[in-house]
Amino acid sequence: MTTPEAARPCGAVLLAAGAGRRMGSRPKALLLRDGEPLLLRQARLLAAAGCAPVVVVLGHHREAILQVLQAAQGSHPHLQWTTNPTPEEEPASSLRCGLAALPASLTTVLVALGDQPLLELPDFSAILHAWRARQPGTELVVPTHHGQPGHPLVFGALLRQAVQQGDSVRQWRRAHPERVQTLAADHARYTTDADTPESLQSLQQAHGVALTWPA
């Protein structure tokens, strides 16, 4: 008996291995929104959308982020983490680490960034709904805003295997455009992250969202 698409488990990879050089080499994922680190906010929303486990990929700033994860594990039982030993390599190396930490049986994987401050639960639900309602043959669903691709994105077993064998999502997407479906959004939540000190000012001015560094 075939399992209905909506009932199939979804795991998530949450990328937080970057150095944050444009932010003064600080861990962007630990910026606080309403007192909650962005990384934990993302993990909470992923779990609420039905993703489990949620694997955080660490690299640069590993110790600082690990302290936050360990302190929060009691209230975030879905959280796991792994470390990219070479985070200075291409981002695909961090994704491969996260995929390797997910159960091999998972056929749906959602990939999110640790520093997206505007996403809300309906945004995660919308991309997962688009995946479950995708056209036959679709292997990757990507949200876009004014043609710009964003995160989170969702893919299946075929692309998971390709990435684990050394491909990147970007390379695979360019090589297989017929297997990619986009979710066009009329908002910038999917394409907004916290990259620079100037972006923090823009978030405050344009969206009324204040991000602060932990003490």
- Is a pLDDT exceeding 90 seen at residue 133? yes
The mean pLDDT value for 155-176 works out to 96
Both structure tokens of 66 = 């690990």
pLDDT-derived band at 91 (thresholds 50, 70, 90) equals confident
Overall CATH class of domain 9-206 = alpha beta
Instruction: Identify which of 149, 176, 9 has the alpha carbon closest to the alpha carbon of residue 167.
Output: 176
Average pLDDT, the chain: 94
Higher pLDDT, 6 or 66: 66
Q: What pLDDT is attached to residue 168?
A: 95
Domain boundaries along the sequence of the chain:
9-206
